[in-house]
């Protein structure tokens, strides 16, 4: 069998697109591999939301060029948001690429994979281990792996029409386009039948969803998905504060399958800056929405995105962001120094020096980490049920998993093999220690479904044997 390697950068939209590419590749007769060096086709799915995402993508392109130099039969393809932004530049400066596919060209990429397939020999020896590499995308700056199919990213809308003044997304992804709910439900049913345990509905402002034919809103969509037979757990990314309604808050409170986490980017704590960002809400309005949310979901994790050093941000504006973070005690926050993007309004405004931005980022991180640590500390001594992700990056003898509120937990793998984990991918982890990045502990049991009974992890009496000698 010929194999394809897909490396994904950026957000949930690229994750969903990589899953589509992997599905098309699998249908055309490719195996999806986690090893670039053995692949006949290498796909780089890129992001351009900040300058370092762009730099990283060009770095990876240069890296993969070496693979192609070693074996000219290898096809090297770039797709995603940077490909959309820099299509012409790439075609000129990187003639070694076999294809540059923008965000609206994915079907053409799928067609190219089909067309190339007969040209490849069936040269990959598919061992049992390779067969476990499912034809699905990976998770966050990652490649496909044995457990990727447990999480399915399902597009509910494409593009964005909000035009925040810092953001490149509307330019590289186009305007809002909501998908018919019948298509969404059909795709979720297919993912569930292939073993998906967690469904993530994805879009740039998912909670602004409107069914094109009926006008049904996002709360209606959540209810329809929650009613699907076989659904294990459901979540969604990303919501916009402007579109958070009392009806949606009630839906959160009433649907038992929802993961207890809500990502609601606030970006900053100053009204003057929010206005210049074109965010369409004030800090007071954000607070009101959170109060509404907390009435229904007192125990959920609230997470956010924050930008520092946006053009015009004063010490007082920044102080207001720090104060808001202390008040909200976010369970997690993704924090960024503002990065000017070509063609966006804020890129033309007077910029704040990077040293100031970096200092503010460090100060903000210290404040945010306080709340994050406190959130993790609540788990100490308890058993948390978490969906397996795969071997821990730092120590392959350990497994990484994500709790329902999206906290990373790491625990020794013991003798749990891939096949056993795919059958029972929910790990009951007793939390022994907490860190800023997540928690560590011991796997005490596993389960097939989030609400299925736990099967105790095998007891290995090493200590007793030694003691009785």
Query: Which of 240/430 has CB closer to ligand SAH?
Result: 240
Q: Which position among 19, 85, 238, 392 is part of the footprint of ligand SAH (CB under 6 A)?
A: 238
For residue 265, state whether it binds ligand SAH (rule: CB under 6 A): yes
The interface partner of residue 304, options being ligand SAH, ligand F3S, ligand SF4, none and the CB cut-off 5 to 8 Å by kind, is none
Q: Let me know: does 300 contact 260? Beta carbons within 8 Å.
A: yes
Show the site string, 169-198: x = touches ligand SAH by CB under 6 A, - = not: x-----------------------------
Query: Which of 140/396 has CB closer to ligand F3S?
Result: 140
Report the 10 Å Cβ neighbour count for 165.
17
Report the 10 Å Cβ neighbour count for 247.
11
Q: Let me know: does 252 contact 297? Beta carbons within 8 Å.
A: yes
The interface partner of residue 74, options being ligand F3S, ligand SAH, ligand SF4, none and the CB cut-off 5 to 8 Å by kind, is none
Question: From the CB of 81, what's the least distance to ligand F3S, in Å?
Answer: 3
Q: Which position among 130, 151, 257, 341 is part of the footprint of ligand SAH (CB under 6 A)?
A: 341
Query: By CB neighbour count within 10 A (0-12 exposed, 13-18 middle, 19+ buried), where does 35 fall?
Result: exposed
Percent helix, percent strand, percent coil in the chain, to nearest 5: 40, 25, 35
Any idea what the Cα angle at residue 197 is, between residues 192 and 200, rounded to 5°? 85
The span from the CA of 248 to the CA of 296, in Å, is 10
Query: Which of 278/296 has CB closer to ligand SAH?
Result: 278
The span from the CA of 54 to the CA of 38, in Å, is 26
Query: Which of 103/235 has CB closer to ligand F3S?
Result: 103
Q: How many residues in the shown chain lie near ligand SAH by CB under 6 A?
A: 17
For residue 379, state whether it binds ligand SAH (rule: CB under 6 A): no
Q: Let me know: does 68 contact 76? Beta carbons within 8 Å.
A: yes
The interface partner of residue 170, options being ligand SF4, ligand SAH, ligand F3S, none and the CB cut-off 5 to 8 Å by kind, is ligand SF4
**Residues lying near ligand F3S in the complex (CB under 6 A):** 10-11, 13-14, 47-49, 80-81, 168-169, 172-173
Question: From the CB of 304, what's the least distance to ligand SAH, in Å?
Answer: 8
The span from the CA of 425 to the CA of 409, in Å, is 14
The interface partner of residue 341, options being ligand SAH, ligand F3S, ligand SF4, none and the CB cut-off 5 to 8 Å by kind, is ligand SAH
Question: How do 41-46 and 30-32 pair as beta strands?
Answer: unpaired
For residue 207, state whether it binds ligand SAH (rule: CB under 6 A): no
Question: From the CB of 176, what's the least distance to ligand SF4, in Å?
Answer: 9
Query: Which of 31/208 has CB closer to ligand F3S?
Result: 208
Three-class DSSP category at 167: coil
**Residues lying near ligand SF4 in the complex (CB under 6 A):** 160, 162-164, 167, 169-170, 204-205, 240
Torsion of CA 45, 15, 221, 385, to 10 degrees: -170
| Residues 68-127 interacting with ligand SAH (rule: CB under 6 A) | none
The span from the CA of 101 to the CA of 440, in Å, is 41
Q: Let me know: does 436 contact 333? Beta carbons within 8 Å.
A: no
Question: From the CB of 290, what's the least distance to ligand SF4, in Å?
Answer: 18
| Residues 382-421 interacting with ligand SAH (rule: CB under 6 A) | none
Residue 104, token pair as written in the block: 């609206």
Query: Which of 169/264 has CB closer to ligand F3S?
Result: 169
Q: Which position among 120, 252, 338, 426 is part of the footprint of ligand SAH (CB under 6 A)?
A: 338
Query: Which of 277/421 has CB closer to ligand SF4?
Result: 277
Q: Let me know: does 238 contact 203? Beta carbons within 8 Å.
A: yes
In terms of Cα–Cα distance, which of 276, 240, 262 is closest to 160?
Answer: 240
């Amino acid at each position: 069998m010929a194999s394809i390697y897909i490396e994904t950068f950026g957000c949930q939209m690229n994750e969903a697109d990589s899953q589509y590419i992997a599905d098309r590749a699998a249908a055309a007769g490719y195996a999806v591999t986690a090893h670039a060096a053995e692949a006949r086709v290498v796909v780089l799915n890129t992001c351009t939301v900040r300058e370092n995402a762009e730099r990283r993508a060009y770095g990876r392109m240069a890296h993969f060029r070496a693979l192609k130099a070693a074996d000219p039969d290898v096809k090297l393809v770039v797709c995603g948001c940077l490909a959309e932004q820099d299509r012409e530049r790439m075609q000129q400066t990187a003639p070694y690429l076999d294809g540059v596919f923008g965000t609206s060209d994915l079907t053409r990429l799928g067609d190219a994979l089909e067309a190339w397939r007969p040209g490849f020999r069936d040269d990959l020896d598919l061992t049992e281990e390779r067969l476990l590499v499912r034809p699905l995308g990976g998770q966050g700056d990652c490649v496909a792996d044995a457990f990727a199919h447990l999480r399915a990213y399902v597009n509910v809308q494409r593009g964005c029409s909000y035009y925040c003044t810092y953001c490149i997304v509307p330019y590289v992804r186009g305007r809002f386009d909501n998908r018919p709910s019948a298509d969404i439900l059909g795709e979720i049913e297919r993912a569930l039948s292939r073993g998906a345990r967690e469904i993530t509905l994805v879009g740039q402002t998912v909670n602004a969803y409107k069914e094109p034919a009926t006008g049904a809103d996002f709360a209606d969509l959540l209810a329809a998905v929650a009613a699907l037979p076989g659904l294990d757990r459901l979540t969604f990314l990303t919501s916009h504060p402007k579109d958070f309604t009392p009806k949606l808050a009630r839906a959160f409170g009433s649907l038992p399958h929802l993961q207890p986490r809500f990502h609601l980017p606030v970006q900053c704590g100053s009204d003057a800056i929010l206005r210049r960002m074109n965010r369409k809400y004030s800090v007071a309005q954000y607070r009101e929405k959170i109060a509404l949310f907390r009435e229904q979901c007192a125990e959920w994790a609230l997470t956010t995105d924050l930008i520092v050093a946006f053009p015009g941000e004063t010490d007082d504006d920044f102080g207001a962001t720090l104060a808001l973070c202390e008040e909200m005690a976010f369970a997690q926050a993704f924090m960024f120094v503002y990065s000017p993007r070509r063609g966006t309004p804020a890129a033309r405004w007077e910029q704040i020096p990077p040293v100031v931005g970096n200092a503010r980022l460090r100060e903000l991180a210290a404040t945010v980490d306080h709340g994050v640590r406190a959130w993790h500390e609540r788990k100490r001594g308890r058993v948390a049920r978490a969906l397996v992700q795969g071997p821990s990056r730092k120590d392959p003898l350990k497994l990484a998993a994500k709790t329902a509120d999206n906290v990373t937990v790491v625990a020794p793998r013991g003798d749990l093999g891939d096949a056993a984990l795919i059958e029972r991918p929910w790990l009951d982890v007793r939390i022994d220690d907490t860190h800023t990045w997540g928690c560590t502990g011991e796997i005490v049991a596993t389960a097939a479904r989030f609400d299925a009974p736990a099967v105790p992890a095998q007891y290995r009496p090493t200590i007793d044997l030694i003691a009785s000698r």
